[in-house]
Structure formats: C-alpha cells, structure tokens
Structure 1
Amino acid sequence: MSILETATSVLRLMAREQREMSMIDLVDQLGMPKSSASRVLKQMSEAGLLERDKKSLAYRPSMLLLELSHLVRSSSALIDMCAQALETLGERFGHTGYVSVLEGNDVVVLRVRPGSLAFRAMTNPGHRSASWATSTGRALLARETDEQIRARFPQGLRPEGAQTVNANAADIGADAPFSDSRAPARGPATLDALLDEVALTRSRGYALAQNEALYGVCSVGCSIADPSSGECLSFCLSFPAGAQDDAALVALGEAVREQARTIGRSLGDPYWSAFPTNSTP
C-alpha cells in the first residue's frame, strides 16, 4: 500500500469515528504494525495534514483540511453532493441511483444515475411516488416526529375512495404518478405500520423498501439536510427485489448510510451529527 493510500485510510477512519486518532487506533482498527502506524502519523503531521494534541498526544485533522472542507461545502449544492455519493456507490455496486425530494405526501425524483447493471424498471426525473411506500420517502419522513407524520395522514395511508393500483414494474410507465389518490397496493397497510418502519429507519440510519411503490423493485435510501439553506433531500440505490440476500442488503444499507453520514456531518446536519458512529441495523 502506498503512503497516499495509507494516509487516505487514516483520514477515512477519522471521518467515520469522528474523533482524534492515536497509534493504537490505527493498529487496532486498520491492522497496521506499530512502527508503520507511528511513521504514517508522523509523516502526515509533517505534511500539514494532521495536528497533534500536546496533552493527549492523539492526532486530529489540520486547519488545512478544515479550510478545504469549507471550500467543498461552498462550491457544492446539496443535490450535487447527493449525486456524487450515488456516483461513488454506483461504481461500487452497479445499481441505479435516485435523488428525490418530499413534496406534500409524495416523493419526487430530481435526478437519476443509471447503473451499469441491467434494470428494467428505471424511472425518470419528475416521477412521483407515495412517500410512505419508498425508501427515499421514509428516509425523509424519519426526520419528523411520529405526531408530525400522523398529522400528514389524517385519513390514513389509503383514504376511503382512493384508487389502489397493482404497481407492477412491467405494466406501468416510467412517469406514472403515485400520489395519495393512486396509492400503491403494497407497502405499510396502516399508519401504525408506517411508524414502525420509520422507527426502524431511524435506528439503522437507512430505509429499506421491497416490492412496494413498484413491484419487483427494492431500494435502500437515506436523507440529508443542509441547515444553511434549509434544503432536505434523499438518495437511494434501486435494484431488482430478490437480487440481494440479507447480508448483501445490510452491506448496501451501511454503504449508503456512510455516504449520507459523511455529507451530513460536513454540512452540520443535526440528524447525522447525533447519529451513533457505530450503529448497526
């Protein structure tokens, strides 16, 4: 491993743990020999990438990195940061990605990043789905209190008289709307069931939807907010249901969550600032 790759691993570890690092941390979490860990920390400090606390003797990111983080924040709109996260995830997993926004009780697609793997049910920007039956929608709803969510749906998820459709990916066009007036046949059946899904989303940091707004489609999504602009978006990876086993779904969820947490903490998003670093599904 080159010194650049090693330094990158150290910075990624700091970003994930959100704390200062010592030589022992590198030994325990990166599997480095003590001599290598000591040497790389010293070299990164001499290069101006890290600073050493005189009391604890642990290392933290330097002011240079802090200045660069402000540059990234000021030059990248939240939607572009989400799109970049999908680019990274897409290159790793090959799945299609979406950036969406909550509009009323629907979630609306803003951007699409086609995957490298064949996927028949891809939708287009402007596509509207019921928020409660999608991973992006539930990731956004998870930021609200249960009381706020109940207030959104005073008549329940499927109001009396609403048309219920069998949302098969094979027979519905890419731009077919799914608002409350055309509720998907799948997904949480009641408001209490939705709140259970939202609670699970809050605990693991990502939402999982399988065979809901579109039958045969699975997606894993997270949300991010920028306190400075008030903007709040969600992004997800979408792929055929059944294509991943349980372990793979967890790995996907954790990868999407880490991208969201990194962006969220760089923006000062309270949701991610308070989210436990070592949280597991």
Structure 2
Amino acid sequence: MSDLELVDTKLVFGGEQRRYQHDSAVTQCRMTFSVYLPPQVSERPVPVLYWLSGLTCTDENFSTKAGAQRVAAQLGLALVMPDTSPRGEGVPDDPEGAYDFGLGAGFYVNATQSPWSTHYRMYDYVVDELPALVESALPLDGRRAIAGHSMGGHGALMIALRNPERYRSTSAFSPIVNPAGVPWGQKALGAYLGDDPAAWAEYDTVALIGRTEHHLPLLVDQGSADNFLEEQLKTERLEAACEEAGYPAMIRMHGGYDHSYYFIASFIEDHLRFHYAAITA
C-alpha cells in the first residue's frame, strides 16, 4: 500500500474537506476516499465517524449533499467517507451494467467467488486497511463510530455488530437490514459469496442482532415515503429482531420522507450528535 496522495482540498466551516487516493493492498486497485477534518485538529487529535454510502455512490455523495460539515466543525468530529466499491481497469462490473451490483455496489463484504474475490473485499478495507491508514497519517485519536445510508446503512450496522470493540456507536438512514431476505441483497450476496446461507448470515444485520452480546448505541432513521421500504429495506424485521434479542436500538420512522439525501440532510445533525455523545461518554 502506497502513501496517501492528496488530490483535492476545500475550506469549509473552518475545517478542511479533503480527497485522497492510495493503492490498496486489500482491493488490489487504486482507491479514493474523502475526509473532513474539523478546525479543532489544529489543537489536538479528534474522534472520527466513518460514513458508508449506498448503491451507485462514490466517496463524494455524502460530503457534497448531507451538509454534515457544519455540525462536525462544531463538535470537533472528523468524517471519513470511503468509496462504495473497488474501481479501475480490470475490476469486474455487472455484466448487464445494472446499478445494484458490481461497480458502486460492493455491499461491504469480502467476496469469495470468482471473478469478484480478487478486488471486492470492502469489508476488510473498511474495517482494517482504511482506518489503519488514516488514523496513522491524520490527527485522529482512535475513537470511532460508523454510520451509513441504504447499502451503506447495511454496511455500518453489520460492521459494528461484528466488531463492537472497534466502534463506540453505529447508525443508519434507510438501511438494508436483512440483505439475505430481499432482492438487492440476494443478488449481491449470491454472486459475491455463493449459495451458502451461513455465509450470507455473516453480513446480515437481522441475523447478527440475535447473536451479539454487546449492545452498542444504535440509531436508525427511516422515511415512511421511501419507495424501497416495502421490498428492499424491511425496517420492521430489524424492529422485531431487536425486540426478540432485547437490543435497545432507537428506530425512528419519519412520515413523508423518502430515500434521498434530502432525508439525510434533515436529520444528519441528530446522528452526528448521537455519535459524539457516545464517543465522549
């Protein structure tokens, strides 16, 4: 893995919105990610929220649409935003060019099936390689939380449940909570992982909730007017799993909101303050 290459920086709310590239040993391609460093880094290292975006997104969707930097600057909270999949020459894509698989749709798993297994290892990238890189190169103090939207909401909840010692809290907007039981997830998990249901369950929030003994602070926001809610997101399955497992999650339904970044921008301040409170408790 090569050193970080800074490719862009902008001043925003007294902090810096940066974009980096590096050669990834995990995904075996050039990766791009974004970072927001709040103004407090001039005085001390700060905690960090990792944000995982959804289908078709890059590292820039959240940084340009969510409006998170204002509150992050107030709190002294860094934001790290990876890409949603490997990219570049030689990285395979959906043969039919569909938006819900392949490039922009890594589902935050470690693929085991050819030809995906060479590059599509976003789980290891998000959990291990990226934090090791940014937390050694940037003024971050090692306290982490993780959040995301849609496919990234699936990734954030799943990664936190599998690695509770690494994160102080987790949250999601409109997450795919049961990928093993909905079309988006079945397509992706079947191709990346093969036909073994046990392998799918390792990346399924509903399945993981009942197996964890660690109850991280967990917040989910879902819009009632989300056109993916009934077929793909299945929030009610997460509510049922948390109730059965006795997991004290905060799951909120918001009337009239859809799946877009307008929804995220409306409630991102709640999420940032939720994570900052958990990180500094």
Q: Same fold (TM over 0.5)?
A: no
TM-score by length of 2: 0.23
Higher helix share goes to which structure?
1
Structure index of larger Rg = 1
